[in-house]
A and B are shown apart, each in its own frame.
Chain A
């Protein structure tokens, strides 16, 4: 029982920390993505990098 408790504790705190860091990244870079997406939708031919590898 104690092993599981310690395991869940580490999982929980590591996950919340990772989520906090990811949220910050998404909020900042998502804003730039929105600018680019709206620009692309206005001028679809100018910024086409939608080709796959």
Chain B
């Protein structure tokens, strides 16, 4: 049953040639960028020379990864048009951050290269090392499913036999390629690659939207969703939609985290030419933060309409009758694309998605490796700091190690069904603590080092939102008593509240000495 769903798509030799051509350009970029790297600042933040348009391109390229397209399409497939609210919240929050400069502007003024570096400026070395460890742990865990989900796209769109060994070859090639140009050129090659990837990705997405609307039309899509999902396919506030007020509040927190706390996005702010560029970058990028969810949700809704209108083996695969196991709905969008888009055009869209895949991997690899080197290893070498050359070498080495981890984890790990919840809660291990430490550190003079350490540790409690840990600790008994589910959004909001309280209470009970307080940046 499943193999017939995968076969019969339009992916052909021409499409493969387009994809290979695109990948070759990426190799050239890595080689070209190498000559511009002279020190660690060039390697990690491109010497802080990014203009507004290039900042927007690289931020969009990084944040609109294939993983985002896949999990968002999954949300659109299951939630219908109601899922659009997540995109709107992300847009509003990012625009407000740009308008006010909340967190990102004072952070850029510090000239720190990483967020934990700011922790040290404000709260001392232990806060930097702890912050670096939590950041690297949460971030690398968060990244663990990228390759797995990316592989599911490749399977779905190309029609490769999921049980064959070819998939391993394709994914190993892709990760090797990303490692190659990230190691060679650092942030300069990442920025150049992101620009090319932005061009391919934006054109690809816009053409897909045009083709789908040409095939189905908005009204027909609305009718199909109305018929199968009713009001819950449109209204995110009602219970049946699978969203509701707690979920929407959590999306507001995640939107702030995505644009102003998550290091891969904040690195763009830190690499901005000046604070004016940073504010403009965020206001423009609010459109990208909207689109990165909205178009994939639309693709997911379209895939749902395709499955329901085509019926037959497709409907039976995703909505089986009887006791048969349903096919993972992450496959719905790529299978839909492979059956709807014409040959040649499918190659362009696949190249765009591979662009999305690579632009996220390169930035994440560079980000986590530079955090490990600059914020954990180097501060621990008391009295013997690494040389610039040593830092660049070690960053490159760690990029390779993380790449190997991603490959192994991605090929063998059986991921959670709802990728967005997994991403949100693994990210929250770092980000809930970081929201408190950054915002109180930047805007509250009395925030103390002890408060910061406690806030970071309290944020770690978000790990109890992971489904595997919830199952292990049997939350059902507590849920029965309190009368509501302790799901990922609730646990994330709990960790955030705990972290804020820890920062306030810790700072009031254990304030820094006047000498320590004076070195603050607020």
A interface residues (Cβ-Cβ under 8 A, vs B): 1, 4-5, 8-9, 11-12, 15-16, 18-20, 22-23, 25-34, 36-38, 40-42, 44, 49-53
Report B-chain residues with C-beta under 8 Å of the C-beta of A36: 49, 51
- For the complex of A and B, the 8 pairs showing the least CB-CB separation, nearest first, are A33-B51, A33-B54, A29-B53, A4-B234, A23-B202, A30-B53, A40-B49, A41-B36
From B49, B84, B109, B273, name the one whose CB has the most chain A CB atoms within 10 angstroms.
Answer: B49
Shortest Cβ distance from A23 into B: residue: B202
Q: Mark B274-302, 1 if CB is under 8 A from A, else 0.
A: 11100000001001101100110010000
Contact between chains at B51 and A29 (CB < 8 Å):
yes
B224 to chain A, nearest CB (A): 12
Shortest Cβ distance from A9 into B: residue: B218
6 further interface pairs, Cβ-Cβ under 8 Å (given A34-B191, A37-B50) = A23-B203, A28-B53, A33-B51, A41-B38, A52-B109, A52-B274
Report A-chain residues with C-beta under 8 Å of the C-beta of B36: 38, 41-42
From A22, A29, A53, B288 is in contact (CB under 8 Å) with A22
Contact between chains at B57 and A5 (CB < 8 Å):
no
A12 CA to B288 CA, complexed, in Å: 13
Contact between chains at A25 and B209 (CB < 8 Å):
no
User: Can you list 11 A-B contacts with CB-CB less than 8 angstroms, sorted by A residue number?
Assistant: A4-B235, A11-B84, A16-B294, A18-B287, A19-B291, A22-B287, A26-B60, A27-B202, A33-B53, A40-B47, A50-B49
From A19, A40, A42, A53, name the one whose CB has the most chain B CB atoms within 10 angstroms.
Answer: A19
Contact between chains at B198 and A27 (CB < 8 Å):
yes
Summarize A's interface: helix, strand, loop or mixed.
helix
Contact between chains at A15 and B287 (CB < 8 Å):
yes
Q: Does B206 contact A (CB under 8 A)?
A: yes
| Given known A26-B198, A37-B49, contact A12–B206 (CB-CB < 8 A) | no
B218 to chain A, nearest CB (A): 6
